[in-house]
Chains A and B, each alone.
Chain A
Amino acid sequence: MSKRCVQVLNEALHEVFAERDDVYLLGEDILDPYGGAFKVSQGLSDAYPDRVLTTPISEASLFGVAAGMALRGQRPILEIMFGDFIALGLDQIVNGIAKFREMYDDQVTVPLVVRTPMGGRRGYGPTHSQSLEKLLLGVPNIVVVAASECHDLRDLVVTAVEDERPVFLIENKLMYGRPNRRPEDGHIGELSVRESSAPYPALTFSGTDFSEGTATIVTYGGMVPVVLDAVTELILEHEIFCEVVALSQLLPIELDPVLESVARTGALVTAEEGTLTGGFGAEIAARVQEACWSDLRGPVQRVAARDGIIPSARPLEDAMLPSAHDVVEAIVALEAVRS
């Protein structure tokens, strides 16, 4: 059995702490024995008491402190307990962290990493369940990376810490408890998988060993297992084969794996857990139609959360968030256009 994602992330943090003595972890409730709300930082404060700094509930200041540390050549890692509170740091991010390097003519870099869990399906309610990474997608000069249970989480952490740019590593609450399912012999389960060679790789899945496909579904993060369930259902129940492109690098936008897949399938569906309007899917749709209009045989379909706030009651939350069923319906809608 593969290790659970939380354990892989935890081991990766231990590894970077052992490798570099300029790495710091800042965040709320991250000290042992509690080890963080999701246990990702467990054992770090016992092993490196001087480099794990527990903070008050003060996200805005926290971003500022981390930015200062990074400017001074350290490698701070921020743990924002819930991704929703990234909103508190937006001024520091947009007007500081993203701009320092260019404003100071490359004399400084801001090599900080912000780790934070996004996503719902836990009943945590309106302010602890959102997927707000789309707020970061228009910000120049930062890197937004979404981890999924199929990516090499150890590599994502190590690459992010080594990166000279500010990196936002978006984790997912449900992912933590799941096994980190890596490709074995080019497969995850019955699906063939190709991994791009980019620093933050994209995974492309196919049920036909890339010989044919009805559509490409591009997704990331917590939606990856949802989309894989949908794709499996489409294969088993309908013999409809879709490719899935699971991106890890959301910004700067990495379109090549998507375009390669669309060239094979001729159709695109985007799937994200955040709200529909002005989201990741909208940006991808715009870029794909611009790049390969003639490869598309139908309109791009978007699967996303309804434009609303997330209720606490689980049945209402489920109705709000995109499901495997929604993905299946999007593909069936595309098929209807075809036939």
Chain B
Amino acid sequence: MFEIVLTREDANTEFALLAEWLVEDRAEVQQGQPVCVVETTKATVEIEAPGAGTIVQLYDEGVEVELGKTVARIAESADELASLEQDAEREQPTPKPSPTDRKATRKAAELAERHGVDLASIEKRGFVTEKDVEELIARQKAAASPGRGSALAGLSTSNVTLPSSFNLDESTGALDPSFFERLRSDSESFRLLPPDEKVAILRQYGAQIGEGVVLGEGSLVAAPQIVIEDGVEIGPRATIRCEEVVAIGESSQFGADLELLCRRAFLGAGIWAGRSIRFGGGGHRDPWAVLTVGDLAFVGDEAFVNVCRPVLIGREVFLTMRSLIVTHNVGHSLLEGFENRFAPVVLEDRAQVGLGAVIYAGCRIGAEAIVASNSYVTGDIPAGAFAIGVPAKVTGSSSHKVSRSRQIELGRRMIDDLHELLALRGHEVSAIRDDDAYGFEVGGVPVLFVPSFGEGRPGAVMLTLEVGGEPAEGVVVLDLVERKLHGSGGGDVLESVREFCRKRGIRFGPGPWRYRGGLV
């Protein structure tokens, strides 16, 4: 048997074109007879039979064949031919690996695997992304429980961390229906009850209300399903009235004169909301009137959020004073060509909406994007963008990368500033020292900055950029980058440092907005 192998006529290419067979498959060939034409970039070469016999071709004309492959064999006898016939299934050329063979992104594939979702069930032209998988999961959930999730169908929750209560079981905190009817028909007498009594009565009739919950003077909470976790404080004269459910996560606090009207409200933990805030407005009883506010969000005084379509507010979002979100417009007839819009609004995680800014129906503000004060947003703002103007236009990035050396410089400067502040407040502070740590003592407590925390001084409050070890007993470490507290102790000094850090946008949970008995 002879083999016809494609040799490297041109060492610079990996493939050559098998341009033409000069003999029929299974033909008798003579030694030295040209049997095929191979084309490379700079040459067309005829290949001759290395011996006489019956040729068995392994590739079709017109295919690119990897150099070094056998393109045909020549059988010298009938027996040899028979054995070649057995494995004569034509070998296909090795396909060059192409990244486009894959359609789903890594994130999509991982998410699909976690949720046991079949990627093949996503019918879509183009790439399958994490968002597509999320939407499929949401649709499947919605199909499973048509009452609850359906209002969000089609709205991506990508980059929006929903509060944990979002998937609340329908029976949790459900009120006795007759009591709810009474509450609805005569809410005024309930309002006038002392705060503790209101909480006790709600609990008695089925609401799930945690420890330390304060429901202010003249305030009302009315919904068929009420879940309020530990430590929630609702100021005086609040009106919370939801058609289906209201859920509030632990340690969230709301100032005076809150108005929360919608069908379903899921508010996360550690939210800080100012006074005279309104959620609701036109259409707040609509089936799509769903409000979610993520953990650690900030809502400024007199903010107004219209909820007739879903409004999803992500984790650590800032919706500052007097800002305004609308989910519909009002005006003349759509048949006369006037805009008639009812659409959801999404503020992705860590987005910031400046003072007095307006977010129009249908807009999505990307993660960590900033909308400047008094801007009017009429379209989507991409993640990480800085947008300003009427209408808002992206003019730059919301942040920039900070190098490690610059972080260290900033950490040291924070110590300088805190030192100055405490001194001006009249506290006894030592001089700043700069040895293995940078810092000072106040009231006998060392406040120290180290770029990387290994082990601390007893009783110290340590600020650091990375935590490499467990703090010893009585040492408290603030990881400024991860925004996490490690260890315990610190007392008033720790509270002061936290408050000081908060004003620099470095907030430590739980209850990042609350400081008691601090020195600053």
Q: Chain A residues near B126 (CB, 8 Å)?
A: 187, 190-192, 207-209
Chain B residues positioned under 8 Å from A338 (CB to CB): 384-385, 397
- Surface stretch bound by A, among B50-58, B101-109, B260-268, B425-433: B101-109
Given A236-B102, A239-B107, verify A294-B368 contact (CB < 8 Å).
no
Would A38 and B41 be within 8 Å (CB), given that A297-B394, A297-B397 are in contact? yes
Q: Check: A87 CB closer than 8 A to any chain B CB.
A: no
> Which residue of the partner chain, among A237, A295, A339, contacts B106 with CB atoms under 8 Å?
A237
With an 8 A cutoff between CB atoms, is B395 at the interface?
Answer: yes
| Given known contacts A123-B12, A187-B125, A339-B399, A239 and B39 CB-to-CB distance under 8 angstroms | no
CB nearest neighbor in A for B11:
A123
A173 to B397 CA separation, bound complex (whole angstroms)? 41
B 405-430 binary contact with A (CB < 8 Å = 1; else 0): 00000000000000000000000000
- How far is it, in angstroms, between the C-alpha of A334 and the C-alpha of B104 when the chains are bound? 24
Q: Which residue of A lies closest to B104 (CB)?
A: A236
Confirm or deny: B83 has a beta carbon within 8 angstroms of a beta carbon on chain A: no
Contact B382 A266 (CB under 8 A): yes
Interface residues in A164-179 (C-beta closer than 8 Å to B): 173, 176-177
Residues of B within 8 A of A238 (CB): 106
**Distance to closest chain A CB from B399 (angstroms):** 6
B99 on interface, CB distance cutoff 8 Å: yes
- B130/A239 in contact, CB under 8 A: yes
Residues in A with CB closer than 8 Å to B11 are 123
A37 vs B10: C-alpha distance when bound (angstroms): 13
Interface presence of A18 (CB below 8 A)? no
Asked whether A39 lies within 8 Å of B44 as measured between CB atoms, the reply is: yes
CB distance from B353 to the nearest CB of A (A): 19
Task: Give bound CA distance, A64 to B107, whole Å.
Answer: 58
Give the docked Cα–Cα distance between A173 and B13 (Å): 11
Q: Is the CB of B41 within 8 A of A235?
A: no
Q: Which residues on B sit within 8 Å (CB–CB) of A191?
A: 126
Q: How far is the CB of A207 from chain B (nearest CB, A)?
A: 5
A308 touches B (CB below 8 Å): no
Q: Which of A295, A298, A338 has most B Cβ within 10 Å? A: A338
Chain B residues with CB under 8 A of A232: 99-100
Chain A nearest CB from B378 CB (Å) reads 16
Task: Give B504 Cβ to nearest chain A Cβ, in Å.
Answer: 19
B332 located at the interface, meaning its Cβ lies under 8 Å from any Cβ of chain A in the complex: no
With beta carbons under 8 angstroms apart, the residue of B125, B129, B394, B395 that contacts A239 is B129
Please name 21 pairs of A and B residues whose Cβ atoms are closer than 8 Å in the assembled complex, sorted by A.
A35-B44, A177-B15, A177-B64, A187-B125, A189-B100, A190-B100, A209-B126, A212-B382, A236-B99, A236-B102, A237-B105, A239-B106, A239-B129, A266-B382, A297-B396, A297-B397, A298-B397, A338-B384, A338-B397, A339-B368, A339-B399
The interface of chain A, by Cβ under 8 A from chain B, is 4, 33-35, 37-39, 122-124, 173, 176-177, 187, 189-192, 207-209, 212, 229, 232-233, 235-239, 266, 294-295, 297-298, 314, 336-339
Q: Which 5 A-B residue pairings sit nearest by Cβ, starting from the closest?
A: A123-B12, A189-B100, A338-B384, A122-B12, A232-B99
